[in-house]
Amino acid sequence: MTQRIRLGISPCPNDTFAFHGLMTRAVDWGGLQFDVELLDIERLNERLLCGDFDVCKASFHAALSVVDDVVVLPSGSALGFGVGPLLLAAEEGTAPATVDQLTLCPGRHTTAALLYELFHGRTTRIEHVVFSEIMPRLATRRADFGVCIHEGRFTWPKHGLSLVEDLGSRWEAETRCPLPLGGIFASRRLSLETVATVQRVIHDSVRFALADRSAALPTMRRHAQEFDDEVLMQHVELYVNEWTTDLGATGVRALRELSARAAAAGLGAGGTLEVLAG
């Protein structure tokens, strides 16, 4: 009987680009059957914590709470320099300073929310909303600050907003590591052989997309919040890189740094994420 793999990924362009080959079956599934579900990143985080998927894209922050239940796959991650979330303001010249102010974050378990709390603590009230709500609410002055992710990194000026801080740049300056945003996590319920097969399929899917970038555009358009092809490809150029193909030693070091800083700030459950060997 063919083994079915419940796979959860996000609809953001870097995921639909990297998984285009898998979703369209342009790469060999290695005898497995993938049932793919696309969800907002915070919903994926919640489902990861519940153990609902066999394999799941999720925030590295969320996975720190389940280090004993999952293994990180070397391929498919979003990690790099210049990829961090942006802290935006509704009013130019303002910065988080008081609990009378409201900051919108894209989910309690996102790495973006973790960075905000690492660097700005509890200086403001925090409300967690779907990432696509953040810039519209800032533009209509229904919040003071927002942590912006995904395509919004390129489109925020159109909303008349002000940049307070690039949280990723601050991470890089303090750690000298690329920022680990999200990764692909396989449940330890799966056999090592199955996990290795899943890793090969995802690796092949990433390589397939990189070999012909424009071929993935129809898949990306179908699921993206932004439909401008230039913005979609900017997203790919930023978030899909050498560490998406393979985390390598640099990726492992970045994960250890994130783990240590989260634990020291009381924002993680402790433990270090294990990356699949080989």
C-alpha 200 chain-centroid distance: 21
Using the CB atoms, write b or e for 11-33: b if 16+ within 10 Å.
Answer: bbbbbbbbbbbbbeeebebeebe
* Measured distance CA(144)–CA(178) in Å, rounded: 28
* Measured distance CA(223)–CA(149) in Å, rounded: 16
* Measured distance CA(188)–CA(177) in Å, rounded: 28
Q: Which of 150, 203, 223, 235 is catalytic?
A: 150
Does residue 128 have an active-site annotation? no
Whose tokens are 């925030």? That residue is 59
Whose tokens are 């985390």? That residue is 247
Rounded to 5 degrees, φ, ψ at 118 are: -65, -40
Max Cα distance, the chain (Å): 61
Rounded to 5 degrees, φ, ψ at 7 are: -115, 125
C-alpha dihedral sign at 260, 183, 128, 93: positive
Q: Catalytic positions, please?
A: 150
